[in-house]
């Protein structure tokens, strides 16, 4: 992106992350034109951004037209689109696809000639914008302060047995990421309790809690080995910690420099209050330990 280009588009889905990105962009002096996904994007984005437009889930053509009207050639995306929503009954009847969406995703959702892995779908989405002259960049390029640095984030350091579970879980989580299945894994005594897939991290943690009533298990959340930082970057926040408390987990290990930490101060305070151990690990260090 050239330094004199101060217009940027924001494609916003669920969560607080899009709001933080929009605020960071405004602080950097960008004119922010935001497309908010209906029923997902936070309404406060309308106040934070210079231009705003709601779109339906399948209104891809409208999103592109709005960005063109705002003079947008560069964009970024932030927020989660819960993938399980596309498997609801009659979803395409409730969110009628426009022609651009149908052309882009025909072989994914209709002919089923291509897989529906997260990276595959998001890659198709960004390519659709690119063919219309809109290039997507990683949101963390504009808000790098949201990426957690390696080290102890909250609580005491992991015990020897917890560190062993972290290293064990790390290797499996990386393999799951390589297959584009999910980012998180729950481990107890080097046994896998639950692996994240379509349901998302919170549901994965709660399922592990149901299976491990004694609690005190470890959660490892990592970036995919082939992580495209334009989308689907691992994210944790106070909501993650609340889910841990509800499920009985007591250790969270994330990947340093490749994980977004939301509301840093509140996150650390909550973790301290509930005696949770949270650590960010460097990939090279984790691989060395495992070896």
Q: What is the pLDDT of residues 186-198, one digit of tens each?
A: 999 999 999 999 9
- pLDDT tens track for 93-105: 777 899 999 999 9
Q: What three-state secondary structure class fits 191?
A: strand
Query: Global pTM?
Result: 0.89
CA distances (Å), origin 217, targets 1, 53, 186, 248, 270: 44, 43, 7, 7, 18
Using alpha carbons, select from 60, 74, 67, 81 the residue that is nearest to residue 33.
Answer: 67
* CA atoms lying within 13 Å on the CB side of residue 234: 30
Alpha-carbon gap, residue 18 to 238, rounded angstroms: 16
First to last CA, the chain: 40
User: 78 vs 125, 128, 227, CA distance in Å?
Assistant: 13, 17, 15
Q: Quick: pLDDT tens for 161-192.
A: 999 999 999 999 999 999 999 999 999 999 99
In DSSP terms, 74 is beta-bridged to: 135
User: What domains sit in the chain, N to C, each tagged with a CATH number?
Assistant: 7-141 (3.40.50.20), 147-290 (3.40.140.80)
């Amino acid at each position: 992106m050239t330094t004199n280009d101060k217009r940027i588009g924001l494609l916003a889905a669920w969560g607080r992350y899009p709001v933080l990105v929009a605020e960071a962009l405004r602080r950097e002096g960008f004119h922010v034109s935001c497309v908010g996904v209906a029923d997902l994007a936070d309404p406060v984005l309308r106040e934070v951004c210079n231009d705003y437009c709601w779109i339906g889930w399948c209104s891809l053509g409208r999103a592109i037209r709005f960005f063109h009207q705002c003079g947008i050639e560069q964009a970024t995306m932030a927020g989660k689109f819960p993938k399980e929503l596309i498997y609801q009954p009659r979803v395409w009847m409730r969110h009628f696809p426009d022609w651009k969406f149908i052309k882009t995703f025909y072989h994914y959702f209709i002919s089923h000639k291509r897989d529906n892995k997260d990276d595959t779908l998001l890659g198709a989405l960004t390519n659709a914008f690119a063919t219309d002259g809109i290039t997507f960049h990683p949101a963390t390029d504009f808000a790098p302060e949201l990426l957690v640095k390696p080290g102890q984030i909250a609580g005491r350091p992991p015990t020897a047995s917890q560190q062993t579970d972290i290293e064990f879980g790390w290797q499996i989580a990386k393999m799951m990421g390589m297959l584009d299945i999910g980012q998180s894994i729950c481990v107890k005594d080097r046994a896998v309790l639950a692996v994240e897939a379509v349901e998302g991290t919170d549901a994965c943690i709660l399922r592990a809690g149901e299976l491990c009533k004694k609690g005190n298990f470890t959660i490892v959340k990592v970036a995919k080995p082939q992580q495209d930082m334009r989308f689907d970057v691992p994210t944790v926040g106070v909501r993650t910690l609340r889910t841990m408390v509800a499920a009985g987990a007591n250790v969270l290990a994330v990947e340093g420099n490749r994980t977004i930490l939301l509301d840093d101060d509140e996150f650390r305070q909550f973790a301290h209050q509930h005696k949770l151990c949270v650590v960010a690990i460097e990939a090279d260090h984790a691989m060395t330990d495992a070896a």
